[in-house]
Amino acid sequence: MSPFFLEPAGLCLAVTAVLGVMLLCRLQGRPGQVGSRAVCVAGLGAGAGLLCGSLFWGLVLFSLSCFLIYATLPGQELLPVDHKAVLITGSDSGFGHALSKYLDQLGFTVFAGVLNEKGPGAEELRRTCSERLSVLQLDITNPAQIKDARSKLVEKLQGRGLWALINNAGVLGYPADGELIPMADYKQCMAVNFFGTVEVTKAFLPLLRISKGRLVNVSSMAGGVPMEKLAAYGSSKAALTMFSAIMRQELSKWGVKVSVIQPGGFQTKIGGSSEMWDKMEKNILDNLSPDVVDDYGRDYILAYRNVLRLISSVSSPDLSPVLRDIQHAVSAKSPLPFYSPGKFSYLCFCIVSFFPTGVFDYLNKRMLGSRDLPRAVRVLHRKSNST
C-alpha cells in the first residue's frame, strides 16, 4: 500500500479516536437515549462510508458524525426548581403516578390529575407526598372536568403561570389484528390518547405562555414504529407525536418548549386487568361477523391475551429512565424535542427511519419468531404443502 494512502488514513484514524473519546466523555450522564442516539448516528455515518467500499471514507464520515454530534449535543444545565408548578394527567397509576411522586420529591408544586380522585392511586399520593401536591379530578375526555381543573389550578397559583403540562394519560386497548379491533376501541384510543390530550393542551396553554414553560407529551414507541396488534393504539400515538412536532414549531415564538416522550416497553397498568381482558375479548367476538370469526378461528382470537402477557414479560419494571427523561424535558435549559427511553427503542426508530421497509419487516418477523396463523391461512398452507 502506498505511503500516500497510509499517511492520510493514519491521520484520519487518529482524529477519529480523539473525537470518539471526546464524544464518549460528553455523553457521560446524558439523559435517556442520547448516548444510543449518538452511537446510531455515528454508526450510520461510518456505515455509509463503508458501503462506498472505502475504509478511508468510512473513517472520514464517522469522524464528521462524531464532530457534529459533539457540537450539537444539548447542555446539561438544569434550571432551578423554585417550586415550579407542573400538571400531570393520568396520575392514578403507571408513569403519571410515579412521576407525581418523583417531581414532588424534587421540590415541584405538583397538580396530579386523576381519573378517580377517590381511588387508591389518588389516596396514595395524598398520603405519601408533600403538601405541595394537589390531586385534581381530571378525566381528559370530559370538557367539564378539564374546565373545573383549570379553575382550581388558577386559584391555587394566584397569578403565577403553569411551568409544565405533562400529558401522560392514555389507554392501550386490547391488542388484536386491525381488522378485528372494534371501531369503538379505535374511537376510544383517539378520544383519550389524542383528542383528550389536545383539549387539555388548548385549555392550559395560556398558563404555559405566561411562564414560557414546557409542554411534554407522553407518546409511545408504537407511535413511530409499526407494531402488530396495536393498530388503534399506535395510530393514536402517531397522531399525538405529529401534533407535538407541529406545536413545537408554533409555540417556539412564545418561548414555550415542546418535547415528546416515546418510551419503549415498561411495566405499567395500561394493559388492564384479567377482568378487563375478559370483557374486551367478549366485545371483539360480539362485534365480528360469523365469516370473519371462521376465517380467523376462535382459537386465534382467544390467544390474543398471550400478546398482553408477552408485552408484560419483556417490559422493564424500572420506570426511572422515563422519569429522568421527563425531568430533563421539564428542567433542562435546552431540552430535547424527542426522548426515547427504553432498551433498543431508539435503535428501532433508526431502523424504521433509515432502512428499507423490507429490512424492518424481516427483522420484525425474526424477532417475533413463529406465530400462530389465522385458521384460513393455516388451511391454505396445508393444502399448498400437500400438493
- What is the crossing angle of helices 274-286 and 305-314, to 10°? 140
| Inter-CA distances, 73 with 24, 88, 333, Å | 12, 28, 13
- Shortest CA distance to 265 belongs to which of 329, 217, 221, 309? 221
- CA separation for the pair 387, 381 (Å, rounded): 10
Name the 3-class secondary structure at 179. coil
- Shortest CA distance to 243 belongs to which of 211, 274, 272, 219? 219
Catalytic entry in 102, 174, 233, 304? 233
* Cell triple for 4: 500516500
Alpha helices (H) in 82-223, listed in sequence order: 94-106, 120-128, 143-157, 183-189, 197-211
* Cell triple for 264: 419503549
What is the DSSP pairing of strand 85-88 with strand 164-167?
Answer: parallel
DSSP notation for 312-379: HHHSBS--HHHHHHHHHHHHBSS--SEE--STTHHHHHHHHHHS-HHHHHHHHHHHH-S----HHHHH
DSSP notation for 261-272: E----B--STT-
* Cell triple for 26: 460528553
Name the 3-class secondary structure at 167. strand
Residues 103 and 78: beta-carbon distance below 8 Å: no
| DSSP 8-state assignment for residue 79 | P
Lay out the sheet containing 257-261: strands in order across: 134-137, 109-114, 85-88, 164-167, 214-218, 257-261, 338-339
- CA separation for the pair 339, 322 (Å, rounded): 9
Active site residue 233: yes
In residues, how long is the chain?
387
- CA separation for the pair 130, 105 (Å, rounded): 8
> Annotated catalytic sites, by residue?
233
